[in-house]
Chains A and B, each alone.
Chain A
Amino acid sequence: MEPGGPEKQADDAAKKLENLKNGIREISHEINNPLGIIRMAVYFLQTTHPSEEKRTEYFKVIDEGLGRIEQSLQLLKALRENPSTVFPKFPLQR
């Protein structure tokens, strides 16, 4: 007989699912933030005539945003491999 029985197994599965849902929600939030920033930076680059200094600033922001999205995708990968993954404190360290 398996330890814990069917009730505990169902409870564990429910906890994993909840963890998964929360994790996806948190990661979505962490991806949306830099995506929004990147969009705005691209908008400014396309529609205004920014100074060289501003252009550098916008490209830097786009680069950093992409880095944040990459971090979040790593976490998604970890979640896929182990649905019980304990998430770091959001927002992720930048």
Chain B
Amino acid sequence: MQTTYKKPLSVGQVAEICRVSKKTVLNWIYDGGMKAFTTYGGHYRIWPANVKKFLDTTGMDIPFDFVDDRTTHILVIDDDHDFSNILKSAILADLPDVEVSTTDDGYEGLMMIGELKPQLVILDIKMPKIDGFQVLELLKTRKLEQDVKVLVITGYLDPETKQQLSKTVADHWMDKLTDINTMIKTIASYVRSEKPMFLSEDNR
């Protein structure tokens, strides 16, 4: 009886399924051919959907049954609790099937990105301990390994900040005074499809 895969697979499991060595699977990951993420302990894990994508792309004739069990997850990293809470309410009102987590600490946010595997991180810039720019810097490597988009929503978006953001891995940025419908539509576009629908030259 064929197994139906739901949970993230280890390198060993993928090697067994594809009838190759672990080293080969690791090479696929390093080359970028197979998308993987790392656990907090530093081990690679691969979502079944990404294994299937790889098999289809490479034309490997290996039967593989899976269920895409990934919950859409958004992580909000902002030290302003009032803003995080009301933004979470706004997101859930429009996207009730999404899970939203919040944290007021950039360091905790980085850990949560590794643990929760959110599809989207909404990030503030001005925060104590570690600011948004430092988080973006530390996210550089993570973004290569994990399909996570970063939307910066900041209380002050002057030309200088926009210029700085254009040099980071942030995918999009907006002011906290942005019209709420535009804000939610932008967020929804990141979690519903591969490419965001609302991009202006100025905001990325």
User: Closest approach, in angstroms, between the C-beta of A66 and any C-beta of chain B?
Assistant: 12
A36 touches B177 (CB 8 A): yes
B90 touches A35 (CB 8 A): no
The answer to whether the Cβ of A41 comes within 8 Å of any Cβ in the partner chain is yes
**Which chain A residues lie closer than 8 Å to B155 at the CB level?**
28-30, 32-33, 36
Determine the main DSSP class of A at the interface with B: helix
**Which chain B residues lie closer than 8 Å to A48 at the CB level?**
93
For B177, give its contact among A30, A32, A64 (CB under 8 Å): A32
A49 to B87, CA, bound (A): 17
B86 touches A33 (CB 8 A): no
For A40, give its contact among B126, B158, B180 (CB under 8 Å): B180
B87 touches A40 (CB 8 A): yes
Q: What residue in chain B is nearest A61 (Cβ atoms)?
A: B82
For A44, give its contact among B83, B90, B128, B177 (CB under 8 Å): B90
Count of chain B residues near A, Cβ 8 A: 19
The answer to whether the Cβ of A80 comes within 8 Å of any Cβ in the partner chain is no
B158 touches A91 (CB 8 A): no
Interface code A41-60, partner B: CB below 8 Å = 1, 0 otherwise? 10110001000000000000
**Which chain B residues lie closer than 8 Å to A39 at the CB level?**
177, 180
B126 touches A32 (CB 8 A): no
**Which chain B residues lie closer than 8 Å to A44 at the CB level?**
86, 89-90, 93
A82 to B119, CA, bound (A): 47
For B176, give its contact among A25, A35, A64, A90 (CB under 8 Å): A35
Chain A residues near B (Cβ < 8 Å): 25, 28-30, 32-37, 39-41, 43-44, 48, 61, 64-65, 90-91
Q: A40-B90, A48-B93 given. 13 additional CB < 8 A pairs?
A: A28-B155, A29-B155, A32-B155, A32-B156, A33-B80, A33-B176, A35-B177, A36-B83, A37-B80, A39-B180, A43-B90, A61-B86, A91-B79
